Amino acid sequence: MAVTRTTKILTVKDQIADQIRSDIISGDLLPNTKLNEKELAERFGLSRGPIRDVILQLTKEGLLISKNNCGASVNCILEPKLQKLMIKLRREIEVFALEQIKDKLTERDFNALDNILIALQEALENEDYTAVTKIDISFHHYIIEKAGGDELVNIWYPYVMRMRLNYKRIVNTEQCVNEHRAILNALREGNIAQAIKSTKANIK
Amino acid sequence: MAVTRTTKILTVKDQIADQIRSDIISGDLLPNTKLNEKELAERFGLSRGPIRDVILQLTKEGLLISKNNCGASVNCILEPKLQKLMIKLRREIEVFALEQIKDKLTERDFNALDNILIALQEALENEDYTAVTKIDISFHHYIIEKAGGDELVNIWYPYVMRMRLNYKRIVNTEQCVNEHRAILNALREGNIAQAIKSTKANIK
DNA sequence: AATTGTTTAATTGTTTACAAAAGACCAGTG
DNA sequence: CACTGGTCTTTTGTAAACAATTAAACAATT
């Protein structure tokens, strides 16, 4: 059998959600910006129904904050203590994931992760920092999903999103790709301890 | 000013969500049971719109699992390793909460928690185990909310719900109320270390 | 007999129209 | 001047009709 390229099918709602997430990450939508259902519906050429679903979803992820009968707005950054807690918890989830996939990674997985890093490098060269952030997330997402499936992704995702809301910019562009390469290399060598160490260094 | 009794206003959706959560906790809705939007709408005398919102919300909480165009069904119990991870993470959140509220609790709070325990005792005597579970959760909820507001509640809630899905029954009825009383007593005495110890013992 | 293709029923996804709540504005009053 | 009280507008919440997708039952073919 030839190599099967898995093209992921995205629902309309997923695409809208992705777009709004990008807008928030990129800074186009600043904290406290109010999201108007009607406007969003017109922007995406849809009715308010699906938009409401997306807003509810992003609210659960912590990116938006909703009040009854008052709509949703972009959430603010966390207070430092909560921020620290979330970093700690996210680290533990990622460490758990690494321990789980220790012996499960195939050559196919390494290739997939390699490709992600290539895309990351490219986005960095293009200075497309929104793309950088999304690709960065997708690297971690791949590992989390492999380790614990959707269940684990679902509890992991809110932490990532909230952290991204706090630090909008990738400060150290080179460091970013190097850190991820370190993780991947350690995984390739089967050196989980090092992979964990590198991951902890990357999550901050 | 007289004592202001705070009666919480619940939206329609919150009430429906609560009801479905109860049905799952009580065992009326077993894992893999499919939820039909139309049936639910008729049962609650609503249209499908709000029902869809509730389903999406419960899916994000991990109680339901949804597939595109195929509806939602009650989620299964977690595999042991994920279960252990979630217990660990929930403990850390609750410990964090206790450390935060150390000096913030007023007499009003102690009374509120006392009342919760009285209700817990009563539910136990009536052998209404669904109520027991809900009141149990509300005790912890009170502390989490006090410590970190909705932000913290939002990341905490999924863990509680998923754990409840795993152990449906309160095994040790007396132990349950005793454990919570130990937490409250420690808080009253300002003995946070003991409160943390008791909380850790309670979350399992 | 097993598998593939087609039709049909049921269910979800989306749109549109309507009801209710919140916020803005402005006049009137102390 | 501040403040209450009302109307008006805007926005969200809900309902009901329509479109699209899926699953199942059945027929046809190899």
The mean of the pLDDT values for chain B is 91
B152 contacts A82? CB cut-off 8 A: yes
Question: Burial, B164: exposed, middle or buried (Cβ in 10 Å; 0-12, 13-18, 19+)?
Answer: middle
Q: What is the pLDDT of residue A171?
A: 67
- Taking the C-alpha atoms of residue A147 and residue A94, their distance in angstroms, rounded to an integer, is 9
Domain boundaries, chain B: 12-74, 80-202
- Taking the C-alpha atoms of residue B68 and residue A78, their distance in angstroms, rounded to an integer, is 33
For residue B22, pLDDT beyond 80: yes
**Amino acid occupying residue A157:** Y
Which pLDDT tens digit goes with each residue over A115-134? Answer: 999 999 999 999 898 899 99
Highest mean pLDDT among A9-18, A85-94, B99-108: A85-94
Strand D bases, protein C-beta under 7 A: 11-17, 21-23
Long-range residue pairs from A55-61, CB within 8 A, at least 24 positions apart, any chain = A56/B53, A56/B56, A56/B57, A57/A13, A57/A17, A57/B56, A57/B60, A58/A17, A58/A20, A58/A21, A60/A158, A60/B57, A60/B60, A60/B61, A60/B154, A61/A157, A61/A158, A61/A161, A61/B60
For residue A178, pLDDT beyond 50: yes
Q: What is the pLDDT of residue A1?
A: 45
| Interface contact A84, partner B, CB < 8 A | no
Q: Where are the beta strands (DSSP E) in A43-167?
A: 64-67, 71-74
Candidate from A138-147, B44-53, B157-166 with smallest mean pLDDT: B157-166
In angstroms, the separation between the Cα of residue A115 and the nearest Cα of chain B is 28
Q: Which nucleotide is nearest to A69 (CA to C1')?
A: D12
Q: What is the pLDDT of residue B84?
A: 96
Confidence of residue A5 (pLDDT cuts 50, 70, 90): low
Which pLDDT tens digit goes with each residue over B156-183? Answer: 999 999 998 887 666 677 888 999 999 9
Across residues A42-49, what is the average pLDDT?
96
Q: What is the pLDDT of residue B129?
A: 87
CATH topology match: A12-74 vs A80-202: no
Q: What is the pLDDT of residue A9?
A: 76
Q: What is the pLDDT of residue B15?
A: 94
B11 contacts A68? CB cut-off 8 A: yes
Domain B80-202 has CATH 1.10.510.10: no
| Interface contact B148, partner A, CB < 8 A | yes
Across residues B43-60, what is the average pLDDT?
96
| Distance of A40 CA from D28 C1′ (whole Å) | 49
Q: Is B126 helix (H, G, I), strand (E, B) or coil?
A: coil
Q: Is B105 helix (H, G, I), strand (E, B) or coil?
A: coil
Top-tier CATH class for B12-74: mainly alpha
A23 touches strand C (CB under 7 A): no
Confidence of residue A199 (pLDDT cuts 50, 70, 90): very high
- Taking the C-alpha atoms of residue A182 and residue A51, their distance in angstroms, rounded to an integer, is 40
Q: What is the pLDDT of residue A95?
A: 98
A178 touches strand C (CB under 7 A): no
Q: What is the pLDDT of residue B2?
A: 46
Long-range residue pairs from A131-139, CB within 8 A, at least 24 positions apart, any chain = A132/A170, A132/A173, A132/A176, A133/A25, A133/A164, A133/A170, A134/A22, A134/A25, A136/A170, A136/A176, A136/A180, A137/A164, A139/A113, A139/A180, A139/A183
Which pLDDT tens digit goes with each residue over B119-148? Answer: 999 999 998 888 999 999 999 999 999 999
- Taking the C-alpha atoms of residue B50 and residue B159, their distance in angstroms, rounded to an integer, is 24
Share of chain A above pLDDT 90, in %: 82
Q: What is the pLDDT of residue A173?
A: 77
Across residues B65-73, what is the average pLDDT?
94
